[in-house]
Amino acid sequence: MISYARGIDNNAVVQDAEQTLRKQAASVPPAKPYQAGEGEVVLDSKLLQAKDPQINSQLAGVAQKAKQTDQFVLIIARSDAEGRWVYQQLRNAVPGYLVRGDIRIGQPARVKLVKSLE
C-alpha cells in the first residue's frame, strides 16, 4: 500500500507512514518456535517432504504407542496429501490394528495422541 501511495504522490504523509510502519515492524519480537505439547511429536518438515526413513521410525513409535494406549491420532499436516501419507505410515507400522484419528491442516507438521478427537 505504501508503494502504491508513493507512486501516486510521494509526499511527507506517505514518508511518515512508511517510517512509522518500519519502526513498528522492527519492534515486533521474532516468533517463538513451536513447543510440542504432551503426547505430541513435531515432524521435521524437510525429512517429511523427502519421506525420509527417519520420519517412518518416528511415526512407527507413535503408532505403537497409540495401539498400546488405544488413543486417537490427530495428524496436523501442511496439506491433505501429506496428512494422508502420514496416516498411511502409521497404519503400516501396526499391521492388523486400525489407527483411529483425524487429519487437520496446519503448521508445523506434527502428530498428537489424544484420548478422544477434539
Q: What mean pLDDT comes out for the span 31-51?
A: 88
* Per-residue model confidence (pLDDT) at position 103: 96
Position 29 confidence tier, pLDDT thresholds 50, 70, 90? confident
pLDDT of residue 116: 67
Contact 84, 103 (CB under 8 A): yes
List the chain domain ranges: 1-30, 40-114
Percentage of residues in the chain having pLDDT higher than 90: 64
Collapse the DSSP code of 31 into the 3-class scheme (helix H, G, I; strand E, B; otherwise coil) and give the result: coil
Q: What is the pTM of this model?
A: 0.71
